[in-house]
Every structure is written in C-alpha cells, then in structure tokens.
Amino acid sequence: MFPRRRFVKGMSGLGMVAAQAVAPGWVRAVSGLSEPLLAEASGEKLFNIDIARAPVRVDGKDAMGIAINGEFPGPLLRWREGDHIALRVHNSLDQATSIHWHGILLPFQMDGVPGVTFPGIAPGETFNYRFPIKQTGTYWYHSHSGLQEPLGHYGPIVIDPAAASLPVSGCGIEICSTSLTLAWADGIA
C-alpha cells in the first residue's frame, strides 16, 4: 500500500510541474472564468455544492473523509437531456479541489481537471460550472485533486432522456462506490 501511495503522490506532483510549464491561459486562476459561458441561457438549473471535511465510519473505523453537501459519497445529481446546468461548487477544504464530470460531453473549460482544463478551486473559492446536457445515462463525478476521491469526494449522476421518464438502475454507480470505499477501508488512501 505504502509504495503505491507514494507513487500516486509523486505522479500528481510531476503533473502539476509539467502543467505549469506549458499552461495555456484558461488553466491560470481567473475569477469568473466560467461566467461568459451560457450566460444568456434561460431556464438554467442551479445546483449548489459544498465540499468539506466530515467524520465518517468505514468498516468500523472512524476517520475524516470529504463530504459533498454533508453526504458521503456525494448526492445523486439528476439531470435531464436538453437541460442547461449551472453548478456552484464551493471549496470549504483547506486545500485545492475540483470536480470532474466523468463521461459528460461538455466545453473543455468545464471538464474540471486542474492544471489541464481549469486552474482548480482554491480553499474558500467558488467555481461556477455551466454546460448543456447532450446525453442520457448513468455517470459519476469525482475530485481530480490529490487523493480526495477515495476519501469520499465522488457521487452519482443520472441523466433522463428528454422525451421519456424511464426507471433508473444505479448498479453501475453502486459497483463503483463500493470498490472505492473498500479501497479506502483497506488503507490505500
């Protein structure tokens, strides 16, 4: 376990150095970066998201995890194809954070990978993600900062089709959450 952890930490450090050396403009911290995108869109659906430390118990062990709106893993985000989404993500941690919308088709500035498509979210800062929903299905979101993801910084997304309301199975998400939680309880993170 220990060598893997050191390896992952080393990798993220190297990644940051490389990204800063060649960083294009959109990677640097600019307040209100996402404001021009979809600013004129009407009917935006707003989600307020807060990322903070919270006590959790996994496999009988007490620890400090990372909760999203007080939940571990984070809350289900249910969207509809054709919606315009605005997500106001506030960082209440003492370290930088991010949310990557895994598998979601969106403008690259909204992808949420620090040092690649945006600067990340500094402690105490809020980042406004805004994008249109162009697909359906089950997905998930997670931190792309450090080792926050296995500490609980992830959650499910369900996107309903525009024209119908179908029953939803969350089994893909369940498998994903369970494996991450077990990895954490095992001492990987």
Residue 88 binding Cu ion, by CB under 5 A = no
Stretch that binds Cu ion, among 55-63, 99-107, 120-128, 171-179 (CB under 5 A): 99-107
Contact region for Cu ion (CB under 5 A) — 49-57, 78-86, 102-110, 119-127? 102-110
Does residue 90 bind Cu ion (CB under 5 A)? no
Query: By C-alpha distance, which of 93, 91, 103 is closest to 156?
Result: 103
Count the residues of the shown chain that bind Cu ion, applying the rule CB under 5 A.
2
Are 53 and 64 contacting, i.e. CB atoms less than 8 angstroms apart?
yes
- CB 112, min distance to Cu ion, A: 9
- Residue 138 found at the interface with Cu ion (CB under 5 A): no
**Cβ at position 139, least distance to Cu ion in Å:** 9
Binding window for Cu ion (CB under 5 A); candidates: 98-106, 117-125, 129-137, 156-164: 98-106
Q: Which stretch binds Cu ion (CB under 5 A): 85-93, 95-103, 149-157, 171-179?
A: 95-103
Query: Is 102 a residue that touches Cu ion (CB under 5 A)?
Result: yes
Q: Find the shortest distance in angstroms from Cβ 149 to Cu ion.
A: 8
3-state SS, the chain, equals CHHHHHHHHHHHHHHHHHHHHCCCHHHCCCCCCCCCCCCCCCCCEEEEEEEEEEEEEECCEEEEEEEECCECCCCCEEEECCCEEEEEEEECCCCCECCEEECCCCCHHHCCCECCCECCECCCCEEEEEEECCCCEEEEEECCCCCCHHHCCEEEEEEECCCCCCCCCCHHHHHHHHHHHHHHHCCCC
- Tell me whether residue 41 or residue 188 sits nearer to Cu ion (CB atom): 188
Residue number of the CB atom closest to Cu ion: 102
- If one asks whether residue 53 binds Cu ion (CB under 5 A), the answer comes out as no
